[in-house]
A and B are shown apart, each in its own frame.
Chain A
Amino acid sequence: MSHDSHDHKPKGFVNRWLLTTNHKDIGTLYLIFALAMFIIGGAMAMIIRLELFQPGLQFVEPDFFNQMTTMHALIMVFGAVMPAFVGLANWMIPLMIGAPDMALPRMNNWSFWILPFAFSLLGSTLFMDGGAPAGGWTMYPPLVLQGGHNVAYLVFAVHLMGISSIMGAINVIATIMNMRAPNVGYLNMPLFVWTWLITAFLLIAVMPVLAGAVTMLLTDRYFGTSFFNAAGGGDPVLFQHIFWFFGHPEVYIMILPSFGVVSEIIPTFARKPLFGYVSMVYATAGIAFLSFIVWAHHMFSVGMPLGGELYFMYATMMIAVPTGVKIFNWVATMWKGAMTFETPMLFSLAFVVLFTIGGFSGVMMALAPVDLQYHDTYFIVAHFHYVLVPGAVFAIIAGAYYWLPKWSGHMYSEKLGKIHFWWSTISVNVLFFPQHFLGLAGMPRRIPDYSTQFAEFNMMSSIGGFAFGLAQVFFVYIVIKTVRGGKKAEANAWGDAKGLEWTVPSPAPHHTFEEFGPVDLKKMAHGDVH
């Protein structure tokens, strides 16, 4: 074995990146891929907001508009948010539990390299006769089946994304269960690891359900089955039940790791242990459990028996309880701490406030009798963008600023980071807050043109959208600048941050925790030290 290279990085681009089995390099690949998809999906959102800037059709035809809303959602959900969290998991979980790597490194490579193929398949439909899927990311039949041959591409792309996610999830579970340093118990793990463990179980449970649903679409389209065709004895609403049995846990797949990231950052910058660590773990598990039994709250207007509607309303309202516990715990973590406001902390604080606003509209929509008004309007567009953009995406950005010194060995420019924060936070609210008003005033979602009474708020929202889009291009610039150079980061870049990742040098060497042995539990990142 050659020892001339100190950290044993493989030589050459192909060996280093294509054939890599190193959790840090695969984590980097995931993060770069997610960032690229975030920009592409964001560009589609810009087209949407451009067309909606004024009433009347100025730029695109209605069918292309529908392709944009559909592709924007698919790319953001499966291409940006989910891979970004897998990237964070790859980088941080082994470092946080004192493991040398992920448990299944070759599968790790495969699960990443499937993704570019999945999204090439999906993206290629844009250049086909008849265009990309235009039936919404929810893929409701019979509409989606009118999509010509993009149906097959859509289905196979979803299959590939699912395979990738399942493999990633298996890897996370195998790593956490088997690779913890010998003295690290489950209740010693940082909350980010806990939230990912639970997320991984959700992924394994629901991705096959989605795969089944889209396979039925495929056979309905090409092989003459009638799963969702009433004329053949099927039921179009059956698809919605299956889809949302996947779709609701999917929502938590995108938010639980955010909870984990924020639960690492707030204690660091409040200089205080995380409040209620154990209740945080239980609340996460509680939310995950509830996510399986509330799916039909996406379908209150579809026509359900009264008993069904009541049940799904009550179960959905229950989610507010564990979610509330989390928010109160974060506030209690700040309480009587000694706070500083570096960029990761700013994004985390914005996350707590803006995610809570998304939660409020969530509680309102849980009330089935009023959901008959809110459903399928811009009110729900505002709701899920509040939980996904200043929710999930802000948490990812906070995590990126927080761990960038560990990944790159350089400190980002605090000044630029703060500009990025204020620019993003103001514009994201200009973008999404008026959409509440639009929805309440009666504007349906997924329409390319609207009645003139909605003009003012749409224009405001579009202006916010362009500003927010530009802010994220600025973020790409900050990241590239930091990776290329900057102030050298200490091993513990934040002074006295807890967490084993801060015990290894910055940038983290190619191999860490090579010697299997106990770690210093006092350095683990959580509240109740046992």
Chain B
Amino acid sequence: MKKAQTKLMWLVTGLLFSSATWAEYGLNLRKGVTDYSQTAYDMHMLAFWICVVIGIIVFGAMLYSIVAHRKSKGVTPEQFSHSTFAEILWTIIPIVILAAMAWPATKALIQMENPTDEAGKPMNMDMTIKVTGYQWKWRYDYMDEGFGFLSTLAKDSNIARQKDSGIKPETVDNYLLDVDKPLVIPVDTNIRFLLTADDVIHAWWVPDFGWKRDAVPGFVNEAWTNVKVPGTYRGQCAELCGKDHGFMPVVVEAVSKEDYAAWVAEQKGGQAEEAVMAEKTWTKEELMTKGEAVYNQQCATCHQADGAGLPPTFPALAGSDFVNGPAADQIGLVLNGKPGTAMAAFGNILSETDIAAAITYTRNSFGNTAGDIVQPTDVKNLK
């Protein structure tokens, strides 16, 4: 009986200190799924335990002193005020400890910035993905394959996160950490990321990869990864980028190389279909239906679902002279954006069909009476 008790006690203690339990309650850094994230985790634990040991020594000495050297015990205070030996000692020991931490940190950093393979040669990158941050979505361009798409907060999260939505976040799958279209990558592949932004600074971060990197407008940053384990990995924008900074998640699906090849083929098929769609003449009903979906996904965060906007930063579209004015002006603005404001240049982000549909929708909704329709070809001609 007593043996069983002891066993149980050990089990509980073991669970308390095992990293598995820590991970379950989200107490500690994740080990992640790349070599780099494992290295970062090891550095983290090394630094952590060094801090714990130093803490025990320093706080232990302090606590002993507080208990033993108190006036109520009737001690007479010593009057010493320096010790050159002690002072030199506690200058040198920290330097040695820091050097011991700096060594592995230097190696890890070199592997992040100038990666080499096992033979010590500069690492060969198998593919390149360009990541562009927008307020408040990500665009992923597969540079070698020639296609790309936007990745935005998933619809159910987006509805639930509105103030007074009445929807409990617990009832939404992966609340705030889900997107409409995730980035898909193959496992066991050296992937180079080129990161930039179109409006303000964002930061692309997947904790399981072990790093985050800023996406700076006008500049291109570089990072890399090689995911070992298939799975879905979730992260978030990590640099304050305006009101919906908390609502632009990053979701990456790492799949086998075969599945990835199949997915790429599917995307390319979709692209061809898209090109056909852009050539055809749409009816108003078709444009309005598609436009409403595009508007709510891409435009409503700023201009609001009812077109009222959030003035003065995000102007109203409802009753706007501009939206009720010439269609060509509106197409131009949507294509090229408005520098110095949050209005992005959607010409590079959305398809001609999507732009035409969204513009048609705004010109015929929220009480706007422009009445005309914009065809994908109209957009194409102004590009």
Pick the contact of B212: A57, A277, A375, A438 (CB < 8 A).
A375
Q: Does A61 contact B (CB under 8 A)?
A: yes
What are 20 pairs between A and B in contact, CB < 8 Å? A57-B162, A148-B313, A235-B218, A270-B69, A276-B83, A301-B203, A305-B113, A317-B101, A324-B94, A328-B90, A335-B65, A336-B80, A338-B75, A373-B29, A437-B27, A440-B29, A444-B236, A449-B161, A451-B175, A451-B176
Contact mask for chain B residues 185-201; partner A; CB cutoff 8 A; 1 contact, 0 none: 00000000000000111
Return A230 CB to nearest CB of chain B, in Å: 2
The answer on a CB contact under 8 Å between A279 and B87 is yes
The closest CB in chain B to the CB of A360 belongs to B51
List A residues 219-238 near B (Cβ within 8 Å): 229-231, 235-237
The answer on a CB contact under 8 Å between A372 and B58 is no
| Interchain CA distance A369-B101 in the complex, whole Å | 11
Return B162 CB to nearest CB of chain A, in Å: 7
7 nearest A-B residue pairs (beta carbon): A230-B218, A447-B246, A441-B26, A527-B81, A369-B108, A303-B221, A360-B51
Pick the contact of B217: A58, A142, A353, A360 (CB < 8 A).
A142
Q: Does B121 contact A (CB under 8 A)?
A: no
Q: Does B163 contact A (CB under 8 A)?
A: yes
Whether A237 touches B55, Cβ cut-off 8 Å, given contacts A337-B69, A440-B29, A528-B81, is no
Q: Does B43 contact A (CB under 8 A)?
A: yes
The answer on a CB contact under 8 Å between B65 and A272 is no
The answer on a CB contact under 8 Å between B94 and A56 is no
List A residues 101-122 near B (Cβ within 8 Å): none
Return B8 CB to nearest CB of chain A, in Å: 26
Q: Does A143 contact B (CB under 8 A)?
A: yes
Q: Does B48 contact A (CB under 8 A)?
A: yes
| Interchain CA distance A314-B59 in the complex, whole Å | 26
Whether A63 touches B243, Cβ cut-off 8 Å, given contacts A303-B219, A441-B27, is yes
List A residues 302-335 near B (Cβ within 8 Å): 302-303, 305-306, 309-310, 313-314, 317-318, 320-321, 324-325, 327-329, 331-332, 334-335
Contact mask for chain A residues 271-299; partner B; CB cutoff 8 A; 1 contact, 0 none: 11111111100000000000000000000
Contact mask for chain A residues 411-448; partner B; CB cutoff 8 A; 1 contact, 0 none: 00000000000000000000000000110111011111
Residues from chain B with Cβ under 8 Å of A369 in the complex: 36, 39-40, 43, 105, 108-109, 112
Whether A56 touches B160, Cβ cut-off 8 Å, given contacts A230-B217, A370-B47, is yes
The answer on a CB contact under 8 Å between A331 and B61 is yes
Whether A320 touches B69, Cβ cut-off 8 Å, given contacts A369-B40, A376-B203, is no
User: Which bracket fits the contact residues of A?
Assistant: 35 or more
Return A48 CB to nearest CB of chain B, in Å: 13
Q: Does A514 contact B (CB under 8 A)?
A: no
Q: Does A377 contact B (CB under 8 A)?
A: yes
Residues from chain A with Cβ under 8 Å of B61 in the complex: 331, 335
Return B368 CB to nearest CB of chain A, in Å: 24
The answer on a CB contact under 8 Å between B246 and A452 is no
Residues from chain A with Cβ under 8 Å of B240 in the complex: 66, 135-136, 140, 143, 445-446
Whether A364 touches B48, Cβ cut-off 8 Å, given contacts A321-B91, A337-B78, A370-B43, is yes
User: Which bracket fits the contact residues of B?
Assistant: 35 or more
The answer on a CB contact under 8 Å between B162 and A302 is no
Interface residues of A (CB under 8 A from B): 55-63, 66, 129-130, 134-136, 140, 142-143, 145-146, 148, 229-231, 235-237, 270-279, 301-303, 305-306, 309-310, 313-314, 317-318, 320-321, 324-325, 327-329, 331-332, 334-341, 349, 352-353, 356-357, 360, 363-364, 367-370, 372-373, 375-377, 437-438, 440-442, 444-454, 456-457, 527-529
Pick the contact of A372: B199, B212, B244 (CB < 8 A).
B212
Most B CB within 10 A of own CB, among A236, A309, A341: A236
Q: Does B229 contact A (CB under 8 A)?
A: no
Pick the contact of B216: A61, A236, A278 (CB < 8 A).
A236
Q: Does B340 contact A (CB under 8 A)?
A: yes
The answer on a CB contact under 8 Å between B313 and A367 is no
Whether A301 touches B214, Cβ cut-off 8 Å, given contacts A334-B65, A375-B238, A448-B246, is yes
The answer on a CB contact under 8 Å between A453 and B238 is no
Residues from chain A with Cβ under 8 Å of B339 in the complex: 231
Q: Does B77 contact A (CB under 8 A)?
A: yes
Residues from chain A with Cβ under 8 Å of B175 in the complex: 55, 451-452
Residues from chain B with Cβ under 8 Å of A368 in the complex: 105, 109
Whether A56 touches B98, Cβ cut-off 8 Å, given contacts A376-B203, A449-B176, is no
| Interchain CA distance A328-B246 in the complex, whole Å | 41
Residues from chain A with Cβ under 8 Å of B177 in the complex: 451
The answer on a CB contact under 8 Å between B62 and A331 is yes
Return B32 CB to nearest CB of chain A, in Å: 9
Most A CB within 10 A of own CB, among B26, B95, B205: B26
The closest CB in chain B to the CB of A140 belongs to B201
| Interchain CA distance A453-B235 in the complex, whole Å | 13
| Interchain CA distance A332-B87 in the complex, whole Å | 10
Interface residues of B (CB under 8 A from A): 25-30, 36-37, 39-40, 43-44, 47-48, 51, 54-55, 58-59, 61-62, 65-66, 69-72, 75-83, 86-87, 90-91, 94-95, 98, 101-102, 105-106, 108-110, 112-114, 160-165, 167-170, 174-177, 199-201, 203, 205, 207, 210-214, 216-219, 221-222, 235-247, 310-313, 339-342
The answer on a CB contact under 8 Å between B236 and A279 is no
| Interchain CA distance A499-B250 in the complex, whole Å | 58
Return B303 CB to nearest CB of chain A, in Å: 14
Return B70 CB to nearest CB of chain A, in Å: 5
Return A211 CB to nearest CB of chain B, in Å: 23
The answer on a CB contact under 8 Å between A339 and B71 is yes
Residues from chain A with Cβ under 8 Å of B114 in the complex: 306
The answer on a CB contact under 8 Å between A134 and B243 is yes
| Interchain CA distance A475-B82 in the complex, whole Å | 36
The answer on a CB contact under 8 Å between B43 and A367 is yes
The answer on a CB contact under 8 Å between A277 and B82 is yes
Residues from chain B with Cβ under 8 Å of A306 in the complex: 109-110, 113-114
Return A114 CB to nearest CB of chain B, in Å: 29
Whether A337 touches B77, Cβ cut-off 8 Å, given contacts A56-B160, A143-B241, is yes
Known: A309-B113, A339-B69, A364-B44. 8 other contacts (CB 8 A): A62-B246, A237-B216, A273-B80, A303-B222, A324-B91, A338-B76, A448-B246, A451-B176
The answer on a CB contact under 8 Å between B58 and A334 is no
Residues from chain B with Cβ under 8 Å of A278 in the complex: 82
Residues from chain B with Cβ under 8 Å of A230 in the complex: 216-219
Residues from chain A with Cβ under 8 Å of B81 in the complex: 272-277, 527-529
| Interchain CA distance A442-B98 in the complex, whole Å | 26
Return B169 CB to nearest CB of chain A, in Å: 4
The answer on a CB contact under 8 Å between A145 and B71 is no
The answer on a CB contact under 8 Å between B27 and A367 is no
Residues from chain B with Cβ under 8 Å of A441 in the complex: 26-28, 30
Whether A270 touches B77, Cβ cut-off 8 Å, given contacts A310-B106, A320-B98, A450-B176, is yes
| Interchain CA distance A356-B57 in the complex, whole Å | 12
The answer on a CB contact under 8 Å between A142 and B199 is yes
| Interchain CA distance A440-B110 in the complex, whole Å | 23
The closest CB in chain B to the CB of A66 belongs to B243
| Interchain CA distance A300-B117 in the complex, whole Å | 24
| Interchain CA distance A363-B52 in the complex, whole Å | 12
Pick the contact of A452: B27, B170, B241 (CB < 8 A).
B170
Residues from chain B with Cβ under 8 Å of A58 in the complex: 163
Return B286 CB to nearest CB of chain A, in Å: 34
| Interchain CA distance A190-B26 in the complex, whole Å | 46
Return A473 CB to nearest CB of chain B, in Å: 28
The answer on a CB contact under 8 Å between A146 and B341 is yes
The answer on a CB contact under 8 Å between A340 and B70 is yes
Return B95 CB to nearest CB of chain A, in Å: 6
Residues from chain A with Cβ under 8 Å of B25 in the complex: 437, 456
